[in-house]
Chains A and B, each alone.
Chain A
Amino acid sequence: DTGVSQNPRHKITKRGQNVTFRCDPISEHNRLYWYRQTLGQGPEFLTYFQNEAQLEKSRLLSDRFSAERPKGSFSTLEIQRTEQGDSAMYLCASSLTATGVPPLHFGNGTRLTVT
């Protein structure tokens, strides 16, 4: 169990540029979540995959945001035409589908700064 891995750890980009983040979940976890966290706030749900299917998307996920999880393994989150308001920590988490209540296991996040 190597944990959830996110790359890059930090990304600085100019407004209007596109950025892509990657998340590698814990290998046996079939659920994968993306959250966004701004300073002084708790994580806000963006989207969720079960295997390769994107099952839920938040209203926060505008048309500029797209997430994929090809083959049900790693996931990418792309932000097109970045805006300063996109500056935040982007957290990926994974969990098992199981009876009971499997917790989320988070990665260390990707901190995005849009200048």
Chain B
Amino acid sequence: AQKITQTQPGMFVQEKEAVTLDCTYDTSDQSYGLFWYKQPSSGEMIFLIYQGSYDEQNATEGRYSLNFQKARKSANLVISASQLGDSAMYFCAMRVWDTGNQFYFGTGTSLTVIP
């Protein structure tokens, strides 16, 4: 079975500081992808960053980077230089290639950036 676990229901970070949001996953498949989405209070889900299971380097997209530790099955999101607009829910998701096209989502982490 595929599972995504986000153990931090809520996080606070000072503006301009970096913050790490945790994500662990469980799958017995070798081919999978890991995603992070941002959901502001307005409700839309915004794609942030992707990491493939065979990618050797950690993914980066602007202020977002993904700390991928395959042996630990973790895919933590690092946001550098936090901005007030980063306050939102953040969801980690996984897609496994051989078991269909579902994306499995975690329960999310609520991030609040403090001025």
Q: How many A-B residue pairs have CB under 8 A?
A: 59
Q: Digit string of A84-102 for contact with B (CB within 8 Å is 1, else 0)?
A: 0000010101000000010
B contact patch SS: strand
In the complex, which range does the number of interface residues on chain A fall in? 20 to 34
B47 at the interface (CB under 8 A from A): yes
Chain B residues near A109: list those with CB within 8 A. 43-44
Whether the pair A93, B45 counts as a contact (CB closer than 8 A) is: yes
Bound together, the chains give a CA A104 to CA B47 distance in angstroms of 7
Q: Which residues of B contact A31 (CB under 8 A)?
A: 101
Q: Which residues of B contact A (CB under 8 A)?
A: 4, 33, 35, 37, 42-47, 50, 52, 91, 93, 95, 100-108
Given known contacts A41-B107, A107-B44, what 11 new A-B pairs fall within 8 Å (CB)?
Answer: A33-B101, A41-B108, A42-B91, A42-B93, A43-B45, A45-B104, A56-B102, A89-B43, A101-B50, A103-B50, A108-B43
